[in-house]
Structure 1
């Protein structure tokens, strides 16, 4: 069993943001994080899950993902995302990241476990810390899909 803990953060929403994730399995422990100059909290919550799953090299693994994001968990567990795919994501945000997530979803046996944010859960607190630190870093990356869509929305 692989345990993944994730969190995302954005200051201003949209604003500078970041994600943090921890992967654990037996003695294996890995922390990952990145920061972006303009993004949203929901994008960072979902990106944390995507990147963490992409770190798993072997297919068909049992994976438990711990997150405080109802957006991510409910979208998968209540099967909303599969309906969005059938409807071409009409009116839905973060299509690029959902399609990215679905690539990993096909490869593994994934279950989501909701944890209350900022409630003392050790790994969730660490992921929050990683996400916030990443969002405040220098040399923030560009969330190119979000920035392009944001620019288009401002023109409309």
Structure 2
């Protein structure tokens, strides 16, 4: 069983954002993080899961994802995302990331466990620190190109 701990954060919503991910399997342990100059908390929560699943080298792994995001956990565990996909994600945000999630999700046996954020869970707290540290690299952050394009389109800039 692989344990995947995740968290996403943003300073403002939208604003600079980051994700933190921990993969743990027996004595193997790996931390991953990254950030973007303008994004949302929900995008970072979802991206943390995606990046963790994409880091797995072999298909068919049993994975338990720990997340403090009801948005992510409920969408999958309550099977909403599969209905959204069947309808082409019409009217749903983060279509690009949900499509990416579903592509990697189907490669593994994934379950979600929701945990309360900022409640002293050691790995969740570490993921939060990774996410915040990632977005604090403001001058070096890349664009979340899909999100920024959508923002520019909705603001009439494109």
Provide the TM-score with structure 1 as the length reference: 0.98
Give the Cα–Cα distance (whole angstroms) in 2 for the partners of residues 2 and 13 of structure 1: 31
**1: distance between equivalents of 2:22 and 2:80?**
26
Q: Structure 1 regions of 5+ residues with no counterpart?
A: none
Structure 2 residue runs of 5 or longer lacking an equivalent are: none
Count of aligned positions: 156
Counterpart of 2:51 in structure 1 is: 51
Give CA-to-partner distance per residue, 1:110-129, whole Å, 9 cap, x none. 00001100000000000000
Q: State the 4+ residue runs in structure 1 displaced beyond 3 angstroms.
A: none
Aligned to 2:127: 127
Tell me how far apart the structure 2 counterparts of residues 105 and 45 of structure 1 sit (CA, whole Å): 15
Instruction: State how far apart, in whole Å, the 1-side matches of 2:9 and 2:51 are.
Output: 15
TM-score by length of 2: 0.97
Distance in structure 1 (CA, Å) of the matches to 2:135 and 2:113? 25
The correspondence of residues 101-116 of structure 1 with structure 2, limited to 5 A, is 101-116=101-116
Q: Does 1:89 align with 2:89?
A: yes
Q: Which residue of 2 aligns with 1:147?
A: 148
Question: Are 1:9 and 2:9 counterparts?
Answer: yes
Output the CA distance in 2 between the equivalents of 1:119 and 1:52.
22
| Distance (Å, rounded) in 2 between the aligned partners of 1:136 and 1:35 | 8
